[in-house]
Structure 1
């Protein structure tokens, strides 16, 4: 269990799509019990922005892409670090947006934690799953690019999309950036099990890296995993994004499209989940094998089997992520996408009008209160 006589900080910086949401929800589910044992996981009030999310935006400087103002996040990283410095025990700061931080941003982040017992944890899984999952997550955040184009742009690494993938998913590079200046045994690689395995194994390995015994701290339910969409549903969502044409911005897009439409409406569907096409496995295997050798050479603390980072070709033929049946390409899909886009825009406008009405009511209440006070003064 975490030592109570030291200030330990564990930075869990990603990788994105490696089970980070599941681990964060497991930490939240055990927040009280872990807190009694000296493990702090900063979290916000219900309905408000997660303080670590705001801290990550503050550090990365990408708040505009998430629909936040600079004033909304300014100083958030310092605030989280101040909590860690004041806490005697272990503080776990976890967010996948941190993975793509530049070297300059990493230095800024770790400077605030100087002189503490600092550890970095990076969760990872095989590159084949990561490539498809990152593409799908991009669609959930408004992109409409098909997988074939996405894969080619990642392979070239020349534009913003390709560079972002490498910044967030190049495992040795992420480890080198975040582990710079740290002893290798303070840089932890937590390897996820192959697809279909019990996710509680990931929780157990993560707990080991953080420094507590997972026994007595049950992980979140499997449905806490970030849900995946089927091939047909991703195709529909790409069409919705095309119809929206950038008119629905963050944070409204995330609230209405990612969470309500994708996760609530489309996720329970039964269409086949996208898998990496078989020919691409041959390209990724040597990359993953090189990564394994680099991690072993660096001497990082490894939790799990590094061989699970090497993609294993599927035993059966799988459809290309861009392939959908003819039925999903008929006119009805186009009409549905356009209708959904219009409904989403109407909903956002309705919410904005409701907020405007609420603001007017608050303003009138303040004015009425002042008038009552003034009237009382005049009649006194």
Structure 2
């Protein structure tokens, strides 16, 4: 019998990081219930996504990225589990041809497609924030306008990664409808753990014994995200490279410096509530018509009125941006001072280690004496 393999390809910002955190923290518990994570390491999962999407960059990525998809069937077989899970939300933007290639590589498996989906009132602001943390520089108002109109900066990227029907059209391929699964993200106020229960229940796993895992996504406020967008707009191309920006711009500046600030969240303008409802109804009707499997409730896709801004717009003021920038600069200076102190401490330790035992004068004069002695030894 062919091994079932569940391709969880997105959508982004639908609890994917939470679910992946639970999965990686619970590998042994999942294995005990017959579910294997393939590939077997988080970085290899990312490598697989790069290979599927033809994103390999020899200057930024390890050589093992090439051929990651070719290795996947063997990894499934080697796992020897009753089922396997691939979970990488950045696969959602793959082209139809790239999705076809991945399914073809797994022709010997029973392929299932899994999408986690959420209402647009929460999804659009989250997608904008993610785009900014991925080097984007589009202000929130312009981003929302482009998404609603379906044209303009950010609109194409949003459609490819967030439009449920567009992603299904590219990824469902010739799969029978019972092997295409939509897991709905519950509305605010739902008991904790509901999403995990839905997701892992689909995979035949009892979530009761799973660990919570680590949280990898860090939200930043509307003001802080607008500030980051402006900063991104001033960066030279060299600083915006994926391998550089990910560590410095996203994981350090955004997720440590800016996330530490208290900021109000970005919220969908109330003027677009009817648009969100209409799009939800369109998705619900299509999913029902196609006969896809739904885990949860399609009513979760209809937005809660409380998710919208009280007014049609909640503009960010220059004063708010200035305050956020000042706080961020202060944090950067504090970090730089700490790094400088550590570097100087390492330098002092090396000098002390190089000095002759029993001949280590203390203080600044001692340091100068040791330096003069080393210079003199070098001239001899």
Query: What TM-score do you get using the length of structure 1 for normalisation?
Result: 0.79
Of 162, 178, 195 in structure 1, the residue corresponding to residue 171 of structure 2 is 178
Alpha-carbon distance in 1 for matches of 2:314, 2:56: 31
C-alpha RMSD of matched pairs (Å): 3.0
Unaligned segments of structure 1, at least 5 residues: 348-380
* Residue 307 (structure 1) aligns with: 299
**1:151 matches 2:138:** no
Structure 2 counterparts to residues 4-153 of structure 1, below 5 A? 7-42=3-38, 50-64=43-57, 68-69=60-61, 71-88=63-80, 89-153=82-146
SS in 1 for 2:305: coil
Cα distance change, pair 159–340 in 1 and its aligned pair in 2 (3 A): farther
| 1:159 shift after superposition | 5.5
Give the length in aligned residue pairs: 335
8 Å contact kept, 2:228–2:254: yes
* Residue 188 (structure 1) aligns with: 181
* Residue 249 (structure 2) aligns with: 257
| 1:325 shift after superposition | 4.1
Cα distance change, pair 156–125 in 1 and its aligned pair in 2 (3 A): same
Unaligned segments of structure 2, at least 5 residues: 340-380
Alpha-carbon distance in 1 for matches of 2:322, 2:199: 46
* Residue 370 (structure 2) aligns with: none
Of 316, 319, 323 in structure 2, the residue corresponding to residue 324 of structure 1 is 316
8 Å contact kept, 1:126–1:311: yes
| 1:76 shift after superposition | 1.1
8 Å contact kept, 2:121–2:273: yes
* Residue 358 (structure 1) aligns with: none
| 1:122 shift after superposition | 0.5
Larger radius of gyration: 2
Structure 2 counterparts to residues 279-318 of structure 1, below 5 A? 279-314=271-306, 317-318=309-310
| 1:199 shift after superposition | 4.5
Alpha-carbon distance in 1 for matches of 2:47, 2:270: 39
| 1:132 shift after superposition | 0.9
**1:246 matches 2:237:** yes
Query: What TM-score do you get using the length of structure 2 for normalisation?
Result: 0.79
Q: Which range is displaced more, 21-30 or 249-258?
A: 249-258
Alpha-carbon distance in 2 for matches of 1:215, 1:86: 27
Alpha-carbon distance in 1 for matches of 2:206, 2:48: 28
